[in-house]
Structure 1
Amino acid sequence: MAATSPEKERQMLGLFLVPGVYMRVLAETVGKLGHNERQLFEGLNFTAEDLKANDSRVFVTDAILMAERALNLAGHQGLSFLLARELRLTVHGTLGFAALTSSTLGDALESVRRYLQLRAPFISMGFSDAGDKAIVTLKAEFEVPHLYHFLAETVAAMLMMLTDQLIDRDSAAELGYDLSAGNLEMIEVHLTGPEPEYFQKFADQIPVTVMYGQQSEMIVFPKPLLQARMRLADAEASKMARDQCEFELQKALKDQGDITFAIRNMLHVMPGPLPSLEAMAERFCVSSRTLKRRLAEKDTTYREVVESVLKDRAIQLLRYTNKSVSEIAYELGYADLSNFSRAFRKWTGKSASEFREDGPDPAPEMGP
């Protein structure tokens, strides 16, 4: 991906920023495990001291680099579970307060789902209904293959630890769930990665059933449990917190600047297949109709933006990897090789094989 200029970087604010407090807690956790946390900051434009400011923010790309370094140093020691434990409710600011004061567990999870991108833009939550089950899905929003399992394990463990702390036991009992023993084994956490060696060390600290080697990252709740009250439910306080979160979200969206540029940059770092117009509209907290209109104001469409990103990715994969054309087509989300071949010829005037044999064209650029 081509480097962006300082001016374009300023346009990437908003949803491309991570609160510095998370990176500070990450560094402190690595230090507690006996490592020199200063290694995490090498070559970055901020220091541990900079992260102490309440309003500090770092680019998501820097946050990912720090997390990769932390994982290399301490991942084998169960960094994900230790970090989840250190990310106490107060660390999450207004989002934590909104969850804390929500009326029910379901309301708390909905607050987290809507505003998670303000705290962790590299992962998103979704909800789906499966009969007597409610399923919370976790999905990577950035191309972070080395970090994906770590991020999913950390976020899932953090959500479950907070659920354990915040749910009202008496209310759960009224719904038929006896939590007096202190566990939530009726909740299942599904993770795609293999069970790590360190898991057994933390298993008795995780109040839910954790299952590795699954098909997707998700948390499965008995649907009635979502109606359980929160221990510190306060409707007025919750509304104030949610209003503040909404203000932060709308400001972040405004700070994205040019909507076309913002979407293109977001698509560039998302894993394939790329999201639909409706999914992207939800990401930007607008209706699909509004997103269409805003793109039309820039004389483009969502399909055109997506195709531009796919073209850039295809060129980069052909130029810098030894992957076969069929592998590249699959990675870009094409189920049919012939569809990819037609698209690539439309973009470049050449077949993918001809392009690779003829050598590189000028590098693709980000931005409108």
Structure 2
Amino acid sequence: MSTERRVPARYYARLIEVLRDQDVDTDAVVADSGIPADELFDVDGTLPLERIESLLAAARTATARTDIALALAAALKLTSHSAVSYGILSSPTAGYALGLVARYFGLILPMFRVRYGCRDEIMRLRLTPAAGMSHESFAFHLELIVACVHWELRDLIAGDMPPYDVYFSIDTPPHVARYEALREMRIHFGTLDQPGAEMAWPRDLASRPLALSDPTALRMAENRCAEMIERVRVREGIASWVGMMLREANGPPPGHCELAAALNISSRTLDRYLRKEGATFRELSKQATQQRAGRLLSEGRLSVTEVAMELGYSDVANFTRAFRRDTGLTPSEWRQQPPIGDGESPDTADARWV
């Protein structure tokens, strides 16, 4: 099983254009990322996810901003998604367009899965990670996808967007005020137990007709998407995905059987896949708990007791003993360490003691 996940380069080339418009030294950003310029600006090219994460880190360092995902989303258009764009634009209804996006999202950002459905008078779009990512990359792409869906659906229905709700697993970001521009959206951060996001609109939006509906063009676009998706077979290592799902969960992390069910495999099969990659569920669970504990303590918004409860410990003393055994420090002593240095990501800081 390959561990390389490749992602269309076009979105990140557009990010460079957005940064250039903001007078950022984009030549330095590209150089710091280690991505050859001809690969980044190849319209039909793809990049390894690891390279993209390096680019995002370089962009954050150059801008000192946390909201670049929202800036990129505002710059992308309905025509930004290759063959999927033609299917979206020629769909008969808003609901059909979102269902098409869900079916062929592997052609857009393949490190996420998208599910679409209508139930109990609500039209829902659910995003879940399909590949292991750093915390910063996961949050960036989650915000990017949600904001893109908002702006592009709004364009599809000519701006007549009803108020609706969006639920995130990630905590409230420093740039939360930027969401005021997405005025129909009611935001709920830190409300999903499992990593991802969910967008929920009134169900009647699903039947809203679209102005450019074209059955012939739609059939051609869907045939093209089906051909292309057959070639997207590379799968991220399961160990990386399991580690991220455990690390990014809110509250007690998902269990062994729960993660196996998410992959539509048995627990024994999950164990077999993990062994092939030199990992075990127990080791990944321990590492994810350590990383989450370090990040929560460093953020300082929760007390030590609240961090213990967030991680699923019933007794703060048990948490303190486990933390000290693994790090050589008590949680309070960990908090007294110097803050993360310039250029060091929270994931890098976690690695100091894992």
Fold-level match, TM-score > 0.5? yes
- Ranges in structure 1 where 5+ consecutive residues have no aligned partner: 1-7, 170-181, 281-287, 338-351, 358-368
**1:12 and 2:3 matched:** yes
**1:248 and 2:228 matched:** yes
Q: Contact conserved, 1:189 with 1:208, CA < 8 A, in 2? A: no
Q: Contact conserved, 1:20 with 1:57, CA < 8 A, in 2? A: yes
Q: Deviations over 1:130-184 (max 9, x none)?
A: 51112223334434323444333321121111111112x6xxxxxxxxxxxx441
Distance 2:286 2:166 in 1: 38
Q: How far 1:54 moved relative to its partner?
A: 2.5
Q: How far 1:53 moved relative to its partner?
A: 2.0
Which residue of 2 is the match for residue 210 of structure 1? 186
1:71-82 paired onto structure 2 within 5 Å = 71-74=60-63, 76=65, 78-82=67-71
Q: Deviations over 1:35-61 (max 9, x none)?
A: 112333345553233222232111112
Identity of aligned residues (%): 17
Q: 1:189 to 1:42 in 2, by over 3 A?
A: same
Q: Contact conserved, 2:35 with 2:51, CA < 8 A, in 1? A: no
Q: 1:212 to 1:74 in 2, by over 3 A?
A: farther
**1:186 and 2:175 matched:** no
Q: Which of 164, 170, 178 lines up with 1:199 in the alignment?
A: 178
Distance 1:301 1:278 in 2: 11
Higher RCO by CA contacts (8 Å cutoff, separation 6 or greater) = 1
**1:232 and 2:203 matched:** no
Q: How far 1:78 moved relative to its partner?
A: 4.2
Distance 2:167 2:102 in 1: 18
The one-letter code sitting in structure 2 at the alignment partner of 1:88 is: K
Instruction: Point out the more displaced range, 44-53 or 93-102.
Output: 44-53
Distance 1:221 1:214 in 2: 19
1:130-209 paired onto structure 2 within 5 Å = 130-141=119-130, 142-167=132-157, 182-191=159-168, 192-194=171-173, 196=175, 198-199=177-178, 203=181, 206=182, 208-209=184-185
Q: Contact conserved, 1:29 with 1:83, CA < 8 A, in 2? A: yes
Which residue of 2 is the match for residue 23 of structure 1? 12
**1:276 and 2:259 matched:** yes
Counterpart of 1:126 in 2: which secondary structure? strand
Distance 1:163 1:75 in 2: 30
Q: Contact conserved, 1:195 with 1:212, CA < 8 A, in 2? A: no
Q: Deviations over 1:79-106 (max 9, x none)?
A: 2332112211222101122211122111
Q: 1:186 to 1:36 in 2, by over 3 A?
A: same
Distance 1:93 1:67 in 2: 22
The one-letter code sitting in structure 1 at the alignment partner of 2:146 is: A
The one-letter code sitting in structure 2 at the alignment partner of 1:305 is: Y
Aligned residues: 297
Q: Deviations over 1:313-358 (max 9, x none)?
A: 256569999869x989986xx7899xxxxxxxxxxxxxx89x969x
Q: 1:107 to 1:128 in 2, by over 3 A?
A: closer
- Ranges in structure 2 where 5+ consecutive residues have no aligned partner: 298-304, 316-321, 328-354
Which residue of 2 is the match for residue 220 of structure 1? 200
Q: Contact conserved, 1:20 with 1:58, CA < 8 A, in 2? A: yes
> What is the TM-score with the length of structure 1 in the denominator?
0.65
Q: 1:40 to 1:137 in 2, by over 3 A?
A: same
**1:301 and 2:263 matched:** no
Distance 1:241 1:335 in 2: 51
Distance 1:319 1:335 in 2: 13
Distance 2:288 2:240 in 1: 17
Q: 1:37 to 1:319 in 2, by over 3 A?
A: same
Which residue of 2 is the match for residue 36 of structure 1? 25
Counterpart of 2:232 in 1: which secondary structure? helix
**1:109 and 2:93 matched:** no
The one-letter code sitting in structure 2 at the alignment partner of 1:223 is: R
Q: 1:279 to 1:99 in 2, by over 3 A?
A: farther
Counterpart of 2:82 in 1: which secondary structure? helix
